[in-house]
Structure 1
């Protein structure tokens, strides 16, 4: 999925993944549910008092990622833009292990951001009939 996302960035003339985590998380979540029979949700935090992701130096940042369950009901976290924080480009962790690095913020705030972005994306591709 990372390579698909990189192609989208290239076509969109976007250099690097910094600031693209919401788009990546939506793409990954939708793909996992559609093609992998997973239950997945986009999670995120603001990097301050309401969750976020930790970089390799221990600093916290606003970020979006995916959490889900597939197959044998093993909960996981997946992040396809983790390299912006010094980690490998793709991170997949058991959810319990992931809590060291990823702390979800308020789900309603995250959900509103996801819904607004999906609406924006769909609006950009709608064709008047």
Structure 2
């Protein structure tokens, strides 16, 4: 069954495509040639959400964003892959005149689609964690104090 895609969802898809393209360009500069995108972007979801959030604000469409996330270490929250495994992950919820949407440009690290923009009620693979923990972790990304991969 095909669902109708709203103007807001179309705008978010354009932003998500642009963000992923730019993120991959940056990450590819530091990766070995031939490395799959899903490997290159592993562990970049915090940075990707902050980048997407900035692009949404710059678009001046009047959308509001909330970074969401979760970690199975703290609670059963995060991204649930096709095998039912929960992974620590960050994504954005975007409130628009057409409803609230999930935006995620790094779910392919868990075998999801590379770009996900869908109404929140269809995003059953996303389980929100403690918002205070999410905000603390994202603030660390924003101010450059987040641990790097492998720490």
The CA deviation string for residues 25-47 of structure 1, in whole angstroms up to 9 with x for no partner, is 11011111221431011110003
The CA deviation string for residues 42-70 of structure 1, in whole angstroms up to 9 with x for no partner, is 11000342410011211110000010112
The CA deviation string for residues 61-107 of structure 1, in whole angstroms up to 9 with x for no partner, is 0000010112x241000100010111110011101111x10011111
- TM-score w.r.t. the length of structure 1 is 0.84
1:93 aligns with 2:106: no
**Distance across 2 between alignment mates of 1:85 and 1:73:** 28
Q: Which residue of 1 aligns with 2:22?
A: 4
Structure 2 unmatched runs, 5+ = 1-18, 32-38, 146-151
Query: Pairwise CA RMSD of aligned residues?
Result: 1.6
What count of residue pairs does the alignment treat as equivalent? 118
Q: How does 1:69-84 map to 2 (within 5 A)?
A: 69-70=95-96, 72-84=97-109
Q: How does 1:104-123 map to 2 (within 5 A)?
A: 104-120=128-144
- TM superposition outliers: structure 1 runs of 4+ over 3 Å: none
Structure 1 unmatched runs, 5+ = 122-129
Q: Which residue of 1 aligns with 2:65?
A: 40
**Distance across 1 between alignment mates of 2:62 and 2:28:** 29
